[in-house]
Structure 1
Amino acid sequence: MVNTNALTAKDWYDRGNEIKRAGNFAGALDAFKRSIKLNPEAAAPWIGLAKLLDANSQFEEARQCFLLAVSAEPNHLMSRQMLATSHQKLGYVIEAEREYYNAIKLEPNSYISYLGLGQLFEDIGKPEQSADAYRQAMKCAPNKQDALASLLELSKFVDIAKEIVQAESILAKLKNREKALVGYGLGKAYEQQKNYDAAFEAYNVANIARREDSGTFNREAFDSRIEGMMQLFSTEFFKARQGWGNSSKRPIFIVGLPRSGTSLTEQILASHPQCFGAGELNVLTDLATGTPDRLGNAKISWPETASYLSKQQIDELAEDYLDGSGKRSPDTARKVVDKQPLNFWHLGLIAMAFPNARIIHCTRDIRDCGLSIFTQNFNETQSWSTDLEDIAYYWRGYKRLMQHFKQISGLEILDVNYEYTVSDIEKQGRSLLDFVGLSWDEDVLNFHKSERAVQTPSRWQVRQPLYQSSKARWRNYQCYLSPLIKAAQTE
């Protein structure tokens, strides 16, 4: 048996990493804290603690630990880089830029620092500075392709003719991860040139590479998940829990398929002085998946746990959500917008915890929405997004689930159609504000002038006045989109 009293700060740090790899969050947390107590002047245990908190979606707590890591060792490069990323994630733009430059001063040839700086400039709508940073990153590490892929996606704003040739010359030789990144980037560059056949081929190469790595979409598991939710969250289920939950009207949830206009809708709302756009939060997902721990029963998982949660536990969960979602919101914000599109999976939990919440359901022509999904590099959990047939299948299932919750949850749900929004922003803006209980404000018409950071693939679209080219984009690829065209015919 180990005599823990004899362990050094480094011993506790190493122990924390071992325990973390074993999946014991609480144990790793304790080990890193013990290491810090013995030697608070070392950056490594602060970083270990911060990364642990970040993985647990405790982003502000993680940021504070990164700050302490930098304070402990000001010349520690990783501390500076991770602090910059943490600032960026939470919207502290000025602080993030400063820390990236501090990291570059420490190591002028740091690929990671320049890559992060380029992404930051994208978030705040500065394409020229972003391109400069990406090109510097490429000089630092010519064999890494993340910066090249990101630069290709700036083709609407900067001249990237040289980089297109470079990407074409290496695409076939790349491993799947980088092949996907560069393929999506090339697709967007070709599309900007109106070379739609070449663009679709590049997108297809990217999706094949992603599918080889992440696997194919499991339709049977998807159907089972939907059926299970529809059976569990019934009229009787909600009747038995009438009067439960937090009465707050502050939360607004924007849901729908990705690329359905959720970023645009959030940007419109967030332009109102009394509304704060929190971005795509994972707080609700984390709370849902954490319900077994709340119950002290690891044998069942969400959504089965919903049946066992008590009124008090739902109240506590609601408070945890309000704490997690509203940390960065100003006191003047009467409303906080969570625009995680896939929260449509959690409408049952929302109905339990926030019966007075407003749900904005974004819809879009499946031909355009599906195409836009196909041309984006989503994370590996979204295996359905790499194949047009699977996108159409997922869309049908999602529609069934949305219709179910509309009928039985008791939630106030407003459908907001992307095409209608683009056609008449003022009419849709007034409808949105009325629905969420805010008075009209002209600022919502100037949403594209907002200086808030946007960290989604729609970052460039929401910084421009509404444009009609995003409507019927699918026609440029009509000969390739049979699954989506068939799906549209069933609406």
Structure 2
Amino acid sequence: MQGLPASAVPRMHAAARAIRDGAPTQAEQLLVAVLAGTPNHPEALRLLGILRNRQQRFAEAAKLLEQARAQRPDDSATLSDLASALYGLERKQEAFAHWREACRLRPEFALAWFNLGRNLQQEGITEEAIEALREATRLAPDMLPAHVLLGDALVHLGHFDDADASYRAALKLHPANGDAWRGLSNMKTRPLGESDALQLNAALKHPAARPPDRIAMRHALGKLHEDRERYAEAFDAIAQANRESQSLATWNRHAFHRLVEGVVAQDAHIAQSQDAERGREVIFIVGMPRAGSTLVEQILAAHPHVEGASELPDLGAVLAAENTRRKKPFPQWLGEADADDWARLGRDYLARTARWRTERPRHTDKMPENWLYTGLLRAMLPGAVVIDARRDPLETGWSCFKQQFYRLPHFSNDLTDLAAYLRDYEYAMDRWRAHEPERIVLQRYEDLLDAPEAQICTLLDACGLPFDNACLDFHNAHRSVRTASAAQVRQPLRRDTARAERYGAALDPLRAGLARPDATD
């Protein structure tokens, strides 16, 4: 606060509280008033930069924070906040350099270690993320998010005992923390115990439990009941969690159906590529969540030529940037793009994902929702293979319904919506695969269970990969698995994973939706 008049100090404190409490208008008014009286004050600039970061106005944030840094070049807090702005601007290398410098300049600054660890984890640099997050929890044992994210990172590397301890450390700080309960229940091969059931029921009544906490805890309670074969209680808990999610944001299945129809209708107008090899480095694994895509990736990532990159946002980000450039929403501009446009977009994707090919020549991209872009990939990345990972529709639907997804609105919160989405996906993928059976490969989960060695050999051949015995022992592959199946794919194949039939008539809305000829009914 040095250099501020006494009257500005309460405004600065009030502005910081307003940012913390999600009151951006109040925070901005207070900071503008401070800067009007004391122009270019570094701490007021930093707080305004934090506010702009929260608002995702990253270019403005970076400018403000650079101004603050010019006056305080060795201030770790300013460096860390500037790194956040640069990360938002996709200047990731600079961002990580600033976070690491913030930790070096002030090694006791827990928040800098947390920010470094959180974003390393976001980028799949899991081992270094664990080191940074452990340092954050050591320096600030009461930093709740650090314990949760440390648990997530440990799960991704298969360190389940340590992850369990980290999530439970978070619950000691806040017994109704939904993220910690979500982490515990997502270790699907480790059932929750009787004491967990008592704690969950008590935590659901906790006065500090927010709606997202209650949703996560009800999903965890549903898994606990299912593990104990209490199927009616499991369904009730999961259905209530989904109703609460739907009350926050409702999925529009009719609008999504129109989107799919619009994408498919553009197929005939997409310019053809003359470069059949572009994208040969990439293996896309697409389909419904919970349909075995992580298993397929684990098998391929065990191969010495393939890096398992997990769920990458890059394809969607490239297309979103093109929406902005053309000032038209996807898919309206698809027919306008010529072969040069598609080549440019393909190169953009390959540049964004190049770090996944530094040690191995090829990488997987396992973002399930990329199925919607399968048709346009023949122009953008015609050399890429697309694996359509499928599982029995009823089992897939039930597995989605009982899994918590954080992006809202989400199709999985309602059984009828879920069935409509699944039918839209199958309709589009069946059409595209009929046109390009060599590039788009169907891999059924049940076939892998029935004949794993033969299916793995066929899968490798479809991807243009030589056979390697390591792919048969996929569960031993050492890698970061950043999905809800992180525990399951570290075990040999199991035949006892089907659960849907045990729920009987409760799943009739899903059965009825899957049987309808029109996905939008």
TM-score, normalised with respect to structure 2: 0.85
Amino acid at match of 2:128: E
1:181 is aligned to 216
Displacement of 1:434: 0.5
Displacement of 1:461: 0.9
For the structure 1 residues 193 and 344, does the alpha-carbon distance in structure 2 shift closer, same or farther, using more than 3 Å as the test? same
Map residues 238-387 of structure 1 onto 2, 5 A cutoff.
Answer: 238=270, 240-243=271-274, 247-293=278-324, 295=325, 297-298=326-327, 300-331=328-359, 333-387=360-414
Amino acid at match of 1:227: E
More deviation, 40-49/355-364: 40-49
1:117 pairs with 2:150: yes
For the structure 1 residues 23 and 153, does the alpha-carbon distance in structure 2 shift closer, same or farther, using more than 3 Å as the test? closer
For the structure 1 residues 335 and 418, does the alpha-carbon distance in structure 2 shift closer, same or farther, using more than 3 Å as the test? same
1:84 pairs with 2:84: no
Amino acid at match of 1:329: R
Q: Mind listing any 5+ residue stretches in structure 1 that lack a counterpart?
A: none
Amino acid at match of 2:353: S
Displacement of 1:14: 4.0
1:484 pairs with 2:517: no
Map residues 415-430 of structure 1 onto 2, 5 A cutoff.
Answer: 415-430=442-457
For residues 208-240 of structure 1, give each alpha carbon's deviation from its aligned partner in whole angstroms, at most 9, with x where no partner exists. Answer: 111111x22212211221122122x222x23x4
Helix, strand or coil at the partner of 1:427:
helix
Helix, strand or coil at the partner of 2:389:
strand
Distance in 1 (CA, whole Å) between partners of 2:339 and 2:72 is: 43
Pick from 224, 239, 245 the counterpart of residue 204 of structure 1.
239
Is 1:254–1:337's contact at 8 Å kept on the other side of the alignment? yes
Displacement of 1:20: 4.5
1:221 is aligned to 255
Distance in 2 (CA, whole Å) between partners of 1:325 and 1:476 is: 42
Distance in 2 (CA, whole Å) between partners of 1:327 and 1:185 is: 35
Distance in 1 (CA, whole Å) between partners of 2:446 and 2:321 is: 37
Distance in 2 (CA, whole Å) between partners of 1:278 and 1:376 is: 22
Distance in 2 (CA, whole Å) between partners of 1:53 and 1:411 is: 41
Helix, strand or coil at the partner of 2:357:
coil
Amino acid at match of 2:153: L
Displacement of 1:262: 0.6
Amino acid at match of 1:263: T
For the structure 1 residues 57 and 193, does the alpha-carbon distance in structure 2 shift closer, same or farther, using more than 3 Å as the test? farther
Helix, strand or coil at the partner of 2:355:
coil
Distance in 1 (CA, whole Å) between partners of 2:263 and 2:448 is: 31
Map residues 37-76 of structure 1 onto 2, 5 A cutoff.
Answer: 37-55=70-88, 61-76=94-109
Distance in 1 (CA, whole Å) between partners of 2:377 and 2:116 is: 33
More deviation, 308-317/97-106: 308-317
Identity between Structure 1 and Structure 2 (%):
28
Equivalent residue pairs, number: 481
Distance in 1 (CA, whole Å) between partners of 2:62 and 2:438 is: 38
Displacement of 1:180: 0.8
Pick from 75, 82, 96 the counterpart of residue 129 of structure 2.
96
For the structure 1 residues 60 and 431, does the alpha-carbon distance in structure 2 shift closer, same or farther, using more than 3 Å as the test? farther
For the structure 1 residues 241 and 385, does the alpha-carbon distance in structure 2 shift closer, same or farther, using more than 3 Å as the test? same
Distance in 2 (CA, whole Å) between partners of 1:468 and 1:284 is: 34
Amino acid at match of 2:330: W
For the structure 1 residues 382 and 334, does the alpha-carbon distance in structure 2 shift closer, same or farther, using more than 3 Å as the test? farther
Is 1:57–1:282's contact at 8 Å kept on the other side of the alignment? no
For residues 31-78 of structure 1, give each alpha carbon's deviation from its aligned partner in whole angstroms, at most 9, with x where no partner exists. Answer: 334433443312333333333344456655543332232223322211
1:192 is aligned to 227
Q: Mind listing any 5+ residue stretches in structure 2 that lack a counterpart?
A: 1-31
1:108 is aligned to 141
Is 2:302–2:470's contact at 8 Å kept on the other side of the alignment? yes
Displacement of 1:409: 6.8
Amino acid at match of 2:295: L
For the structure 1 residues 78 and 21, does the alpha-carbon distance in structure 2 shift closer, same or farther, using more than 3 Å as the test? closer
Displacement of 1:364: 1.0
Helix, strand or coil at the partner of 1:469:
coil
Distance in 2 (CA, whole Å) between partners of 1:136 and 1:203 is: 25
2:159 is aligned to 126
Is 2:59–2:89's contact at 8 Å kept on the other side of the alignment? no
2:429 is aligned to 402
Displacement of 1:398: 1.5
TM-score, normalised with respect to structure 1: 0.90
Distance in 1 (CA, whole Å) between partners of 2:188 and 2:474 is: 23
Amino acid at match of 2:420: Y
For the structure 1 residues 194 and 53, does the alpha-carbon distance in structure 2 shift closer, same or farther, using more than 3 Å as the test? farther
Displacement of 1:23: 5.1
Distance in 2 (CA, whole Å) between partners of 1:127 and 1:22 is: 36
Map residues 131-142 of structure 1 onto 2, 5 A cutoff.
Answer: 131-142=164-175
Amino acid at match of 2:156: D
Displacement of 1:347: 1.9
For residues 349-380 of structure 1, give each alpha carbon's deviation from its aligned partner in whole angstroms, at most 9, with x where no partner exists. Answer: 42221111101001111110000000111123
Is 1:362–1:417's contact at 8 Å kept on the other side of the alignment? yes
Distance in 2 (CA, whole Å) between partners of 1:458 and 1:154 is: 8
Helix, strand or coil at the partner of 1:454:
coil
Distance in 2 (CA, whole Å) between partners of 1:26 and 1:311 is: 32
Distance in 2 (CA, whole Å) between partners of 1:263 and 1:155 is: 14
More deviation, 369-378/420-429: 420-429
Report the RMSD for the aligned CA atoms in angstroms. 2.7
